[in-house]
Structure 1
Amino acid sequence: MFTGIVEELGEVTAVEKLGDASRFRLRGPVVTEGAKHGDSIAVNGVCLTVVDLGDGEFTADVMAETLNRSSLGALDTGSRVNLERPMAVGGRLGGHIVQGHVDGTGHIVGREVSENWEIVKVSLPPELTRYVVEKGSITVDGVSLTVVDAGPDYFTISLIPTTLALTTLGIKKPGDPVNLEVDVIAKYVERLLGTSARDPEEPVK
């Protein structure tokens, strides 16, 4: 379990293609401190398992399912990534509940630059629209953020200087892909109410 508070802006140092999978080597001195084989580390919001580590770097295997459903397949040597260790029991929940299970990908549509902040517009896959609400929580590339505006096929987020400086969202350009994880509470509520299969145009009985 994560909170969406990025601890470190890491870097991909090697990518090994393994047919239907890839092995990434990533540099992250902060997140690897005290880490061991089998631990979890979120990479751009995707929960990965540490295979090997040393000298401030770790390796992780990424299967085809993850490569196909996230933006990790677009990473290459030199790519910057957001890194976060799991939340410790008893720790502060600084962002919101994040599982590290990507629900889909969007793209940066545009950026509105101000003196002290930026408004970033992100495309939203149709199947995720119902989970995104104004002032609700969403995870973008592993960063816990508050939705400013929720449109039919997009949402906007406001980024403060700290987020711009310490995460990949400060360097993403229009057209760049981002991983999205919606609030898991919304998905559980939908499941309990039995509304997931209902046509959104069909009136509630």
Structure 2
Amino acid sequence: MFTGIIEEIGVMRRIHRQGQAMVLTIGAIRILDDMKLGDSISVNGVCLTVISFDKESFSVDVMPETYRKTNLRKLQTGSRINLERAMPANGRFGGHMVQGHVDTTAVMVSRTPEENAVVFLFEPDNKLMFKYIIPGGSITIDGISLTVVDVSEHTLTVSIIPHTLAQTVLQDKKPGDTVNLECDVLGKYIEKLLGFQPAPSSGKTTDSKRMPMTAAYLAEHGFM
């Protein structure tokens, strides 16, 4: 698990492509300090596994599913990348719970200065994700833990302070660029619980009497 607090901006050294599979070699400094084979690293918000490393870089595999679902397929040699190591058990929880499982990509529509901040407007590719996006809620953009400012039918906005802009690849983004989005996992679990209906089991009459996990059901049984 990650927290969405970017530790370092890495630089793409090499990209080996084979169809929709890739091996990425990324130059870094800070996150190499305690790196081990098999470590999880958030690469632009995508949880990837370290398959090799040296004193100046590390390599990760990208499988076809990840290639299709994220903006990693758009990376080029020299691209700058947000990096974060998995949070240690005794670590400080600086952002929010981030899995590194990208839900959809989004296109930057605009970036507008507003006094000491910059307001970014994004349009997600998968509109079904809007059920998990609320004003004031958490969202992960290219691995960065951010707070949603506003939501419309097709877009969402976030406001970025100077420190976050300087420490992440958002400073490089311009209208038309693609970013990775991960919605808050809490909303996904709540949706699953409220809509869950167990499949009937043969020979057990009690299974057919189970009620779906709805708000009314929870209230009736004292959970709300």
The amino acid that maps onto 2:190 is V
CA contact (8 A) 2:20 2:67 kept: no
Aligned residue for 1:18? 18
2:172 match: 171
Of all paired residues, the percent bearing the same amino acid is 48
1:56 maps to which residue?
56
Amino acid at match of 2:179: V
Task: Return the alpha-carbon distance in structure 1 between the equivalents of residues 191 and 62 of structure 2.
Answer: 30
1:191 partnered with 2:192: yes
* Deviation at residue 91 of structure 1 after TM alignment: 1.2
- TM-score, scaled relative to structure 2: 0.85
Matches within 5 A, 1:1-205: 1-124=1-124, 125-194=126-195
Whether contact under 8 Å (2:8, 2:83) holds in the other structure is yes
Runs of 4+ in 1 over 2 A off after TM superposition: none
Distance in 1 (alpha carbons) for counterparts of 2:155 and 2:165: 20
- State the superposition RMSD in angstroms: 1.3
Whose Rg is larger? 2
- The two structures have a TM-score, normalised by structure 1, of 0.93
* Stretches of structure 1 lacking an aligned partner (at least 5 in a row): 196-203
- Amino acid across the alignment from 2:61: D
Deviations 1:30-71 (A, max 9, x none): 111110111110000000000100022000010110010000
Letter in 1 for 2:119: I
Q: Distance in 1 between matches of 2:41 and 2:31?
A: 8
**Alpha-carbon shift at residue 171 of structure 1 (Å):** 1.1
Give the residue type in structure 2 aligned to 1:152: E
Instruction: Find the residue that maps to 2:13 and give its secondary structure.
Output: strand
Asked if 2 retains the 8 angstrom alpha-carbon contact of 1:33 and 1:56, the reply is no
Aligned residues: 197
Q: Determine the structure 2 residue equivalent to 1:199.
A: none
Gaps of 5+ in 2: 197-214, 217-224
**Shift of residue 18 of structure 1?**
2.0
1:166 Cα shift? 0.9
CA separation in 1, counterparts of 2:179 and 2:95? 18
Write the distance in 2 (CA, Å) between the matches of 1:20 and 1:66: 9
